[in-house]
Structure 1
Amino acid sequence: MGRTYKRVLLKLSGEALMGSLPYGIDPAVVQSFAAEIADVVAKDIQVAIVVGGGNIFRGVKGAAGGMDRATADYIGMIATIMNAMTLQDALEQIEVPTRVQTAISMQEIAEPYIRRRAMRHLERGRVVIFGGGSGNPFFTTDTTAALRAAEIDAEIIFKGTKVDGVYDSDPNTNPNARRFKSLTYSHALTHDIGVMDSTAIALCKDNDIPISVFALSVSGNIRRALMGETIGTFVGGSCDIS
């Protein structure tokens, strides 16, 4: 068992909400994520979440198809709000008080992002889900996660992915790929290792916010990670390959 945290930020990709579906949202997956988050909140750990929108629309792909990049990114931001509302509903179905805050004003369905209000919600035991990315095109939800973590004084970012950590090459194509147990920010930036995008890593480095990368595909891993169990790859300390 590793360190116990008081306030954490969980980064969930939109793709994680698809489960085995080709696109969209798998309700069973969302419900399982919500149940694990509920267990963490019950341990008095404050949880903020940034969710992506790639299961519905990805700005980069839209731009590659000929769409204006800024317009495509805005559509992607709206997709993240759809995911945030879906996750909120799953959490509230199991009586976990949850607030969605958006960087794009949608006052009929969610609160605007206000840092002090978000922190107050967390102090009162509510899960806060940040939708709408950073509100700016050309920035990823990874960068949003780093930004929001710094703003709310989160102790760590937990990033759930398709693989069980960070590797020195793609484990899906290279059977000899080696997994890092831990990794420095500088190593990740210098060697362009796919932890998060470079802007997000630089923000974490500047604000001394560690990143823990773990596999979402393993049942119970959200609970294990957020409760401090050492799994996946830790970014921020010394560099170690398993």
Structure 2
Amino acid sequence: MSLVINIGGSILAPDLDEKRFREFADTLIEISKKEQVFVVTGGGSAARDYIKVARDLGANEAVCDKIGIDVTRLNARLLISALDNKAYSEPPESYKDAENAMALNKIVVMGGIVPGQSTDAVTTILAEYIQADLIIFATSVDGVYTSDPSINEEAEKLENISPKELVDISMKIENKAGANAVVDPLASKILERSKIPAIVLNGKDPEKIKKAALENDHNGTLIK
């Protein structure tokens, strides 16, 4: 079975702490003993900080996207360093490169690809490209809600949701560089067409990712 895990920058690198990267690396190595693992790393607050400065300096959204991509790839390189020889040595810069890397039976870690695609979208397109069996979105929230729970106290968590329902929720999100969403609109549409099941969960504790991947045990939202 092949698995694509999106690790949000907000949980992987809330600050540059090597212990966090080692914790995630240890978990990914355990999962990789039973599954072919691909990882897409997000940029988190660092990417948003860089994008804000770029935007304030007058950079357009495409340039801001490229800056965000650079940060996601830096996070990917740090995770590769933590994984040592268990990981493919470079973050692939295309879906074809990621597919080719799979032949080496290593954990493949990558960041963003092109402007206009968030790492959510990269995750879903990669999963479609390699015909993955499951996607896990490891985020700082515990699932998909009817609206943003940090703004709306009446937002309800959804334990099960169809891709079409996810699209309807995600379309309310503004599509700008550095947008902060659980699963963005483009990723939601790719999930709808690919029909690959996905889990959204709180991944601050890497052990929860392992349980979801290997035991189908989670308290998040199943998208299917």
Range into which the TM-score falls when normalised by the shorter chain: 0.7 to 0.9
Higher helix share goes to which structure? Answer: 2
- Give the whole-Å Cα distance in 1 for the aligned partners of 2:121 and 2:5: 13
Q: 1:9 to 1:218 in 2, by over 3 A?
A: same
Does structure 1 residue 72 correspond to structure 2 residue 60? no
The one-letter code sitting in structure 2 at the alignment partner of 1:70 is A
- Which runs of no fewer than 5 residues in structure 1 stay unpaired? 1-5, 104-112, 237-242
2:176 corresponds in structure 1 to: none
Aligned length: 212
CA distance change for structure 1 residues 219 and 204 in 2, over 3 Å: closer, same or farther? closer
- Which of these residues, 12, 22, 28, is aligned with residue 17 of structure 1? 12
Structure 1 or 2, whichever has the larger Rg, is 1
* Deviation (angstroms), 1:127: 0.3
TM-score, reference length from structure 2: 0.84
Q: Does 1:179 align with 2:157?
A: yes
Distance of aligned partners of 1:134 and 1:97 in 2 relative to their CA distance in 1, 3 Å threshold: closer
Per-residue displacement from partner, 1:183-220 (whole Å, max 9, x unpaired)? 00111112337541111111111111121001112351
1:146 alignment partner in structure 2:
124
2:40 corresponds to 1:50: yes
Asked if the contact 1:157–1:212 (Cα under 8 Å) also holds between the matched residues in 2, the reply is yes
Residue of structure 1 aligned with 2:202, choices 215, 228, 240:
215
**2:109 corresponds to which letter in structure 1?**
I
Gaps of 5+ in 2: 173-180
Kindly provide the CA deviation profile for residues 58-92 of structure 1, in whole angstroms up to 9, marking residues without a partner as x: 37535642322111111111111111110001011
1:41 to 29, 32, 36: 32
Q: TM-score, normalised by structure 1?
A: 0.78
Q: 1:141 to 1:97 in 2, by over 3 A?
A: closer
Distance 1:138 1:118, change over 3 A: closer
Shift of 1:114: 5.7
SS at match of 1:225: helix
Structure 1 residues 219 and 13: CA distance shift in structure 2, 3 A: closer
